[in-house]
Amino acid sequence: KEAKETSSLVADFMSRALEFSPEGQTVLKILNHTVRHKHRECSATVDLFSVDLYRGDAEFLKSGAAASYVKRGSSIFRIKSKTAPLGLMKNVDAERIKIDLEGEDYIIMLSDGIAQSAEDTPWLLELLSKPPKRNLKEYADSILAASLKNLPHTDDMTVLVTRVIRTKD
C-alpha cells in the first residue's frame, strides 16, 4: 500500500511539474526530498524518456529504474543505469543517457516487475529479437503476456512501447 501511494505521488507530481519545466533533474530533487521525509521508509523508481523532435535525439533519465530497450532493425540496445530509487539517499541518484534516434526505432520501457536484468529474462531478449508487431498495443501486450508466463507475479508489471517515425521534410 505504501509503495502504491508513493508511486502515485511521484507520477502525479512529475506529470504536472514537467508540464511547466522540462528539467527533470530539478523535479527529481524536489521529489527525493519529499519521499525521504515521509513518516515511513519508502522509495520510488523513476524512468523518464524525452525526445527533441527538432534535433531527433532523445534522453532517458533513470533513477533506480529497470533497463529500457531500443530496437533498431535486428539490433537491440539495452539502456540501463545502476542508480538508486528516489527516497533512499540524501542526494538524487539519477543518470542521463542520451541516444540518437533513427526512423523505425522502437523504444521499450519496462517496470522492474517485468525485468530486473537481461540475465534474469532470456525470454525477453528472445522476444525482442523477433520482428516487432506494427501495432504498438499488441507489441506491448505480447511482452506482458510473455512476462506473465515466465515470471512469478510478485510485483506490478508495466510495458510501454513507442515507435519513432520520421517524416520527410
Per-residue pLDDT tens digits for 10-32 = 888 888 887 776 667 778 888 88
pLDDT the model gives residue 67: 92
Nearest alpha carbon to residue 98 among 29, 64, 48: 48
Per-residue pLDDT tens digits for 26-75 = 788 888 888 877 756 678 888 989 998 888 889 999 998 999 999 999 99
pLDDT at 120 over 80: no
